[in-house]
Amino acid sequence: MADSPQVVVDPARPLVDERFAVRLAGFPPQRRVTVRARMPLDGGLWESRATVGTDGDGTADLDSQRPLAGTYDAADAMGLVWSAERIGDRPAPRERTRTDGNVSLTATVGGERVASATVERRFQREGVTVATVDHSHLVGRLYEPPGESADDRQYPGILLLGGSSGGFPSRRVASLLASRGFAVLALAYFGRDGLPNRLVEVPLEYVESAVEWLADRDRVRPDPLGVVGWSRGGELALLAATRCDRLRTAVGYAPSPITFQGNKLLSDPGPAWTADGEGRPYVPLAGPVGFRSRIVARWLRGRPLSVRPLFERGLARAGEKRVRAATIPVEEIGGPVLLVTGGDDRVWPADTLATRAMARLDGRSYSHTCDHLSVPGAGHDIKVPYHPTTERATRPFPLPGRSLMLDMGGTPAGYARADAQAWARTLEMLDEGLRP
């Protein structure tokens, strides 16, 4: 038994997507101990807590003990992270500070603070480099792993695509993939200077030229390459992988294997994607009767709006011929395919569409690994693991003259499970496809 109470964390300096264990040692036996966690992250300050009981030796393990009280109710030390709630905003610096993501732990007995520890979480390994793409038409950033690889200084390459928010995809995802030995091209395809300002008529040739640019890097193994995308970026990832021979591993988070209209809810702006100057076939959205009134009612009551019915009704009204024309031939990808969905996605029917894609692959005797990971309790906003999930269920959605909350679906615990399972499976699939 320790001479004095200690909060023991292991490892003490993990990446932000890695688990860490929390143990209590040297505490009074058979006592209730409250562990509080506080972390600065994403422009906010977050806090969580768990009360556990020590055993006869004065020890407790948060991975094996269910809290007696707290912000989460499962035996899981990472509950101190995912169940954290925002307690205040912080000034948003242009760059992360060295303490962003760190978790400060304090243990109290009878209201008295008796021990503390800090988990120094890192967004990337030392030596990861980030450079702006030097190309007249491409808008992106290249993340490269630290040091030299063992195979002729070349790393497996990944094209990373964000969703309907536009701009650059997640630098957190890019940094973490680079930390694990992948060269990552984080590509913007609309919403930046020099690109379409909306997700409407985005040329697929732009993505194809980005793939060739990535393959031409000295430190990138040119073939095979992989692609990872979120939401509309997941749709684009599947589409690009059927068109680019080099892209032979595809991962889509909340993706659609059917191409929908450009990114507008209440009217049809035309196709999201073009090829050879022509719009790719797509399914337009269709609002159920009274949907505009529903928007107003939700806004007035301060309640979030689910837009999933627009996609479901659009599919129902499009007819078999149009849906078939808009269906992405996922069987042409030619390598591992992973589709990640939440069972409570309220943005669009990614879960049922992914099931349809898997049936298509099975029906064509797809010879490569393919998997649909559907996680109950998760919504549309599945991300990398071990971050707070308490604000995932909704997202601000601007409308002309007003601001509405978009219903993303899911629960904090459901998202926590989905984040961890999906990220582990993503890394496995990328290893399988890109490290032959």
Q: H/E/C letters for each residue in the chain? A: CCCCCEEEEECCCCECCCCCEEEEECCCCCCEEEEEEEEEECCEEEEEEEEEECCCCCCEECCCCCCCEECCCCCCCCHHHHCCEEEEECCCCCCCCCCCCCEEEEEEECCEEEEEEEECCECCCCCCEEEECCCCCCEEEEEECCCCCCCCCCEEEEEEECCCCCCCCCHHHHHHHHHCCCEEEEEECCCCCCCCCCCCCEEHHHHHHHHHHHHCCCCEEEEEEEEEEECHHHHHHHHHHHHCCCEEEEEEECCCCECEECCCCCCCCCECEEECCEECCCECCCCCCCHHHHHHHHHHHCCCECCHHHHHHHHHHHCHHHHHHHECCHHHCCCCEEEEEECCCCCCCHHHHHHHHHHHHHHCCCCCCEEEEEECCCCCCCCCCCCCCCCCCEEEEEECCEEEEEECCCCHHHHHHHHHHHHHHHHHHHHHHHCC
pLDDT tops 60 at residue 92: no
pLDDT tops 90 at residue 397: no
Mean pLDDT of the chain: 94
48 is catalytic: no
Q: Read off the pLDDT of each residue in 147-155 and give the average, rounded to a whole number.
A: 66
Q: Among residues 76, 345, 351, 407, which one is catalytic?
A: 345
Q: How confident is the model at residue 97 (pLDDT cuts 50, 70, 90)?
A: low
- Vertex 257: Cα angle to 338 and 243 (nearest 5): 85
Q: How confident is the model at residue 298 (pLDDT cuts 50, 70, 90)?
A: confident
For the chain, what percent of residues have pLDDT higher than 70? 95
Q: Read off the pLDDT of each residue in 165-182 and give the average, rounded to a whole number.
A: 96
Measure Cα distances from 16 to 144, 353, 384 in Å.
Answer: 18, 31, 9
Q: What is the pLDDT of residues 287-297, one digit of tens each?
A: 888 888 888 88
Q: Among residues 306, 344, 380, 387, which one is catalytic?
A: 380
Q: Read off the pLDDT of each residue in 41-70 and give the average, rounded to a whole number.
A: 96
Q: Among residues 175, 231, 256, 374, which one is catalytic?
A: 231
pLDDT tops 90 at residue 2: no
Q: Read off the pLDDT of each residue in 184-208 and give the average, rounded to a whole number.
A: 97
pLDDT (0 to 100) of residue 95: 55
Nearest to 287 by CA among 259, 318, 264, 310: 310
Q: How confident is the model at residue 265 (pLDDT cuts 50, 70, 90)?
A: confident
Cite the residue boundaries of each domain of the chain with CATH code 3.40.50.1820: 129-434
Q: What is the value of pTM for the model shown?
A: 0.94
Q: What is the pLDDT of residues 324-383, one digit of tens each?
A: 999 999 999 999 999 999 999 999 999 999 999 999 999 999 999 999 999 999 999 999
Name the superfamily (CATH) of residues 129-434: Alpha/Beta hydrolase fold, catalytic domain (3.40.50.1820)
pLDDT (0 to 100) of residue 151: 47
Q: How confident is the model at residue 1 (pLDDT cuts 50, 70, 90)?
A: very low
231 is catalytic: yes
Q: What is the CATH number of domain 6-119?
A: 2.60.40.2240
pLDDT tops 90 at residue 273: yes
380 is catalytic: yes
Cite the residue boundaries of each domain of the chain with CATH code 2.60.40.2240: 6-119
